[in-house]
Chain A
Amino acid sequence: MSRTVALAQVAGLVVGLVAGCTPGTPQTRSPLSAAVNTLDPHERHRLKSAVTRAFDAPDGIFTGYTIEPLNIETQPTVVWAKPVGPAADRPDGGSCRPLEIMIVKEGQTSKSTVTYCRAAGSKMVEPMS
């Protein structure tokens, strides 16, 4: 092994350790869940309303809200949900449906398709676990 390669190995080891060369995978969150985390309680409530209404809407019809922030100098937040497929019945009597979710918060747009489910006899719609 040449001296250059040995130095490169040491440098690689040091940089790798500094850069976090440890077992396991990086704990990065999905862009949509990160966006949901930035919503304030009122915005989360509106997103929940949008998802609940979109669950029963025809395909492609979105339900959206524009939420003015408390600090009016900043940009309004937009949340909307749109069904992108038919509801599928579950054996327990509930149903699940894929919804496209979009959040525009502080100029950042996050969009993702999430499957939501509703238990039999319930009004509540929850992400499929």
Chain B
Amino acid sequence: MCALGALLLGATPATGQDFVTELQRGLVDEAALTVHLRSYYFDRAFPAPPSAVAWAGGGWIGYETGWLLDVFRFGAVGYTSQPMAAGATNGTLLLYPGQNGPYGYTVLGQAYGQMRFRDQQFSAYRQLINQPEVNPQDNRMTPNTFEAYLFSGSFGAFSYLGGYVDKMKPRNAVEFIDMAKAAGGPDDVKSGMWLGGIDYRPTAGPRLRLSGYSVQDILSSGYGDFAWSHSITDDIDVNLRGQFMAQGSNGANKLTGEAFGTWVLGAGIDFSWRELTLVGSFTKTAATAPYRNPYGLWPGYSNMMLRQFHRANESAFTTSARIDFAAINLPGLAFVANVTLGSGAIDPATRLPLSTDNEYDFTLDFMLADSAIDFPDALRPLWIRARSATLNRFQNGAVSTVRDFRVILNYEWKFGGRTR
């Protein structure tokens, strides 16, 4: 900790050698190099052509130094997504959109400096943020990243994050854009985001999270949830969950041109028996406005592959079954079936009913890291995911269907990264 001061205090040949040793340690010995490969096939068929189809390959390469002088660290991550086959169409968000078809892209998504003191840390410039309503949303080729200046750390069971977010790079974008524009605000509004969050995670008892953000003249949003788990027997767990979120326009109300506010309330219960988990949840959105999630994946319990079920006045029941095939000596293989039945959605301006939506999602994961099959060690980082979704929309006595099918391969090497 005192190394920098000691180095500057005495300009002797010995400290010069110390400095070289420190650089060697931080930049080479304790540095981490990450290579992440991703292949993504996406096929979404709408009720009427054209479909959105693409196969993309790419991933990211990242370098992170060790903690120089135990205080400073630097890192950068370059992301890329390239078309793997002809015939890709816009709308998949896998590639950079264009009039003559989507294109591959490459972007320096992360480039940060960090400073730490005990368990507290300050991070500056391009980085990932993982908060309930501001997050990477890493469900395409590359994640959301942010230009931000954030303090984070922990005190016992509490951890926190807070600071200023200046810009955001959406998933398939190559530029960092203003937070007002990222929310869909007009071009003449320039606003950053003040962001804060607290997470209480004791070793036993309920877990609590609170998080909120405010983008001047655009949107303020607050989120809170709790989860409480209890083991009934060695084999049976029950988990109770609840969430509440509220948001609204602020300042000059530039997002829609008028003031609005809305909220979502959710509750859920899960039962786990050995390798089987059954989940049930309910969410209700206020009738005043749809909920917005412009800065990442929506944290609501009814978040599905195609819809979030957070339109004005919409209610949603979600049931889910999760099976870990370790139960039949196939560890590494897991399956999830999710069904969400929505109802009651309205257009808040006209108060007229919108479609009644039902969505059925299926996900099969194969994590070779957990497989009992004697794969070579080099294949262990591979994660294969196959997904499908069907959305039925009922309105005026007719039904329209959207179908979605995806196959995703992830493979990550990580070299180095020793810490002290």
Which residues of A are at the interface with B, using a C-beta cutoff of 8 A? 5, 8-9, 11-13, 15-17, 19-22, 26-29, 31, 37, 40-42, 45, 62-68, 70-76, 78, 80, 102, 104, 106-107, 109
Write the nearest CB–CB distance from B154 to chain A, whole angstroms. Answer: 9
| Secondary structure dominating the interface of B | mixed
The distance in angstroms between the C-alpha atoms of A94 and B2, with both chains bound, is 45
Asked if B367 contacts A20 (CB within 8 A), the reply is no
Q: Given A20-B71, A41-B237, answer yes or no on A64-B332 (Cβ-Cβ < 8 Å).
A: yes
Looking across the interface, which residue of chain A has its beta carbon closest to that of B275? A65
Residues in chain A near residue B303, CB distance under 8 A? 71, 73
Write the nearest CB–CB distance from B40 to chain A, whole angstroms. Answer: 13
Asked if B331 contacts A66 (CB within 8 A), the reply is yes
Of the residues B117, B301, B305, contact of A20 by C-beta under 8 Å: B117
Asked if B365 contacts A45 (CB within 8 A), the reply is no
Q: Given A21-B2, A45-B231, A66-B367, answer yes or no on A40-B207 (Cβ-Cβ < 8 Å).
A: yes
The distance in angstroms between the C-alpha atoms of A48 and B310, with both chains bound, is 37
Residues in chain B near residue A27, CB distance under 8 A? 118-119
Asked if A19 contacts B4 (CB within 8 A), the reply is yes
Residues in chain A near residue B419, CB distance under 8 A? 28, 31
- Give me 14 other A-B pairs in contact (C-beta within 8 A), A42-B237, A66-B332, A68-B365 excluded: A8-B8, A15-B4, A15-B8, A16-B5, A19-B2, A19-B70, A19-B117, A42-B277, A63-B331, A72-B338, A72-B363, A73-B139, A76-B383, A104-B369
Looking across the interface, which residue of chain A has its beta carbon closest to that of B6? A12
Answer yes or no: B334 CB below 8 A from chain A CBs. yes
Q: Given A26-B118, A42-B239, answer yes or no on A109-B414 (Cβ-Cβ < 8 Å).
A: yes
The distance in angstroms between the C-alpha atoms of A62 and B229, with both chains bound, is 26
Of the residues B9, B71, B331, contact of A64 by C-beta under 8 Å: B331
Size bracket of the B interface: 35 or more
The distance in angstroms between the C-alpha atoms of A5 and B9, with both chains bound, is 7
Number of A-B contacts (CB under 8 A): 144
The distance in angstroms between the C-alpha atoms of A128 and B225, with both chains bound, is 34
Q: Which of A15, A37, A45, A72 has the most CB of B within 10 A?
A: A72
22 contacts between A and B (CB under 8 A): A9-B8, A12-B7, A16-B2, A19-B117, A20-B1, A22-B1, A31-B419, A37-B201, A40-B207, A41-B239, A45-B229, A63-B331, A64-B326, A65-B370, A67-B334, A68-B324, A75-B383, A76-B334, A76-B367, A80-B370, A102-B369, A109-B414
Residues in chain A near residue B297, CB distance under 8 A? 71, 73
Looking across the interface, which residue of chain B has its beta carbon closest to that of A36? B203
Of the residues A21, A64, A78, contact of B1 by C-beta under 8 Å: A21
| Secondary structure dominating the interface of A | mixed
Answer yes or no: B137 CB below 8 A from chain A CBs. yes
Write the nearest CB–CB distance from A111 to chain B, whole angstroms. Answer: 10
Answer yes or no: B409 CB below 8 A from chain A CBs. no
Asked if B338 contacts A78 (CB within 8 A), the reply is no
Which residues of B are at the interface with A, using a C-beta cutoff of 8 A? 1-2, 4-9, 11, 69-71, 115, 117-119, 130, 137-139, 201, 207, 227, 229, 231, 237, 239, 241, 270, 272, 275, 277, 279, 297, 299, 301, 303, 305, 322, 324-326, 331-334, 336, 338, 361, 363, 365, 367, 369-370, 372, 383, 410, 412, 414, 419-420
Q: Given A20-B71, A65-B326, A80-B370, answer yes or no on A13-B5 (Cβ-Cβ < 8 Å).
A: yes
Write the nearest CB–CB distance from A69 to chain B, whole angstroms. Answer: 9
Residues in chain B near residue A74, CB distance under 8 A? 138
The distance in angstroms between the C-alpha atoms of A18 and B52, with both chains bound, is 53
The distance in angstroms between the C-alpha atoms of A16 and B333, with both chains bound, is 51
The distance in angstroms between the C-alpha atoms of A21 and B8, with both chains bound, is 13
Looking across the interface, which residue of chain B has its beta carbon closest to that of A41? B229
Looking across the interface, which residue of chain B has its beta carbon closest to that of A20? B117
Looking across the interface, which residue of chain B has its beta carbon closest to that of A13? B5
Of the residues A8, A26, A65, A66, contact of B70 by C-beta under 8 Å: A26
Q: Which of B11, B305, B361 has the most CB of A within 10 A?
A: B11
Asked if B119 contacts A28 (CB within 8 A), the reply is yes
Q: Given A28-B119, A40-B227, answer yes or no on A72-B361 (Cβ-Cβ < 8 Å).
A: yes
Asked if A41 contacts B367 (CB within 8 A), the reply is no
Write the nearest CB–CB distance from A31 to chain B, whole angstroms. Answer: 7
Looking across the interface, which residue of chain A has its beta carbon closest to that of B325? A66
Of the residues A22, A40, A45, A65, contact of B331 by C-beta under 8 Å: A65
Asked if A72 contacts B5 (CB within 8 A), the reply is no
The distance in angstroms between the C-alpha atoms of A36 and B356, with both chains bound, is 41
Residues in chain B near residue A67, CB distance under 8 A? 324, 334
Of the residues A21, A65, A70, A106, contact of B5 by C-beta under 8 Å: A21
Residues in chain A near residue B118, CB distance under 8 A? 20, 26-28
